[in-house]
Amino acid sequence: MPNGPVRRAQLIAPFGVGALIVVRDGISLIAAGLDHWYKREDGVLADTTEFMAEEWRLSRQLGVDHFRQPPDFRLPGSGFGQYVPNSNLTIPFLRFPQWHSCSNCNRLKKLPLSARGKQTCTACQAEGKYGVLAQVPIIAMCEKGHLQDFPWCEWVHRQVNPTCQQPMRLVATGSATLAGQKVKCGCGQERSLSGVSFENVLSKALEGEDNPYLCQGQRPWLGTEEREPCSLAPRATLRSASNVYYAQTASAIFIPRGGSDVPTELLSSLESPVLSLFISQFRTLLTPQILRTGKPEIAEMVAPFSDEQIRKGIEQVISRYSNQKAEPKKDEDFRREEFNVLRSARNEQELKIRICDITEYADDITRLFSRITLVDKLRETRALYGFTRIVPETNQELKALKSLLRRNSSNASWLPAYVVYGEGIFLELNEDRLSAWLIANGSALKERLHPSIKRNAQERGKRELKGKPISERLFLVHTFAHLLIRRLTFECGYSAASLRERLYVADGPDAPMAALLIYTASGDAEGTMGGLVRMGKPGLLEPVIRKAIEGAQWCSSDPVCMELGDKAAHIGNNLAACHSCVLLPETACEEFNQFLDRAVVVGNMAQRSLGYFAEML
């Protein structure tokens, strides 16, 4: 198993299970499945208790009992009495692609997934020469997540089932592109890689449409070359391409359980990794007396509380395991739970919220926003539940996505996750003002945005994807969130990649939502330094918003950027938005930098009133 450092958070995304990574010595590796996490190389299992993370809403949503954080690497103690628990734990990675070409003779050779370090060409060694084996630049994949080596023998012989066993070579013909690469076989056959990455070229153009080459159903990240049936056409791609891996993640902001007379401190203790595992094993057999007379650290946790409180707390934690089997909530309802909590004051251990008096802000802010709260501390849990290739969205069921992560699905009671603590600013738009703006500009907004919304719906329908509610509200809230993050990077010391947006948008007439949370995307167990929250205070937030709105009037790519958005025939999910004015690092955006338009914020040259924030100009 090759060695190389990876940050724990990156093992959720972008280097989660099934992802490719190039380590320091230039070797391309694939992150192995969950079956062998928390094992040392000698096979000893770790005590996973300390890595467990609880998030009751996300557990319900993804149908698991708990989450586990990736282990950190620790060296064992070197002296007497210096015991280090869970030492020498690593996350397994495997060598992929397996096909290599020799730097001296260009011969293609396949190595095992477990090969380590620099490999040399045995054919050259036999001739007294020296050649280093370098991994080939292209691989093949399908939309179900399967990944395989490029079918070199099939490609060069133009056959789905070739029988030739002659050695092959990958030679360069003078160009650095794929068109300049040619495969040659010892039998005399040769073929260029020109156009190999186009759709259906590897399947129907290999031997012919009557006998297409299909995906081999391989999952090398599980440490096996076993295959499962797959009827999709594979697509060749560079192994460094961005569409090789899209992590499917879900996240939740911690909110306390409502409607409970169990003290929050007790519930937090019962949901801690040590006690949560204990309760999940014994369930109804567990009594307050057992906890009080058990391990000293457990007895200390429950000592301040009565038997009745402990009993109710145990029942509530046990009920969580039953709820895992319930249907997950719709995305809108899931977000609404957070929306309702973020609008109110809280002083929990892992959620601290202050309500700001909206009248203390400037008049224009008071008119445009109905509520602003400062989140001094929050906890976000991000879980990996699968991945896709080629396209970021999929119509696969949750169960199918989770099955990609492990070979043995019988132990699918947990998923990998990472917990981050941070701070944030929550802003809710004035609903009356927003409704009036939508009515006054209804026809203009429809003419501008609906072609893009319609195209998106048609594209999702073609790919049989779940419908996505896209509206004028989403364009407005999302674009404003991007503008605010870009401005905050100049004011609070965080980079754009360190901040993250969380959108709360719903169009229903009974309970509409139009709000956003800007929060830090990284932190430690104690949270962050408070620089972001400070910028949300009266007197400091107003100039930040004004500068963000003023800056949105003009883009360095204008007039092209704005005029491109003004065209009804514009192709894409963005209108007046580009890297010079609105787009953010993908880690900061919830929507893959889609559904953005400066015009709904500040208007365009022909109609300034089209922008919701136009009165601030």
- According to DSSP, the β-strands at 190-192 and 246-253 are unpaired
> Domain ends where: 181, 205, 240?
240
Residue closest to 253 by CA, chosen among 402, 56, 71: 56
Task: State yes or no: pLDDT of 137 exceeds 90.
Answer: yes
Domain assignment present for residue 142? The answer is: yes
pLDDT the model gives residue 298: 78
Average pLDDT over residues 440-465: 90
> Domain ends where: 240, 263, 297?
240
Contact predicate 145/129, CB 8 Å: no
Domain assignment present for residue 159? The answer is: yes
Mean pLDDT check: name the lowest of 77-86, 112-121, 385-394: 77-86
Task: State yes or no: pLDDT of 258 exceeds 70.
Answer: no
Sheet holding 138-141, edge to edge: 147-149, 138-141, 235-238
Structure tokens at 177: 């592109």
pLDDT band at 156 (very low <50, low <70, confident <90, very high): very high
pLDDT the model gives residue 301: 79
Report d(CA 446, CA 613) in Å as an integer: 18
Number of domains, the chain: 2
Domain of residue 236: give its range.
98-240
Mean pLDDT check: name the lowest of 146-155, 286-295, 317-326, 337-346: 317-326
Mean pLDDT check: name the lowest of 52-66, 246-260, 564-578: 564-578
pLDDT the model gives residue 569: 45
Question: H or E segment at 518?
Answer: strand 513-520
Between 173 and 275, where is the model more confident?
Answer: 173
Report d(CA 497, CA 585) in Å as an integer: 6
Domain assignment present for residue 559? The answer is: yes
Q: Judge if 235 and 354 occupy the same domain.
A: no
pLDDT the model gives residue 408: 81
Taking the C-alpha atoms of 359, 362, 363 and 366 in order, what is their torsion angle to the nearest 10 degrees?
-50
Q: What is the pTM of this model?
A: 0.88
Domain assignment present for residue 252? The answer is: no
Task: State yes or no: pLDDT of 6 exceeds 80.
Answer: yes
Task: State yes or no: pLDDT of 469 exceeds 80.
Answer: yes
pLDDT the model gives residue 144: 94
Q: Judge if 368 and 515 occupy the same domain.
A: yes
pLDDT the model gives residue 543: 97
Contact predicate 243/390, CB 8 Å: yes
Amino acid (1-letter code) at residue 222? L
Domain assignment present for residue 21? The answer is: no
pLDDT the model gives residue 25: 85
φ, ψ of residue 5 to 5 degrees: the values are -80, 140
pLDDT the model gives residue 259: 52
> Domain ends where: 208, 240, 272?
240
What is the widest separation between alpha-carbon atoms in the chain?
84
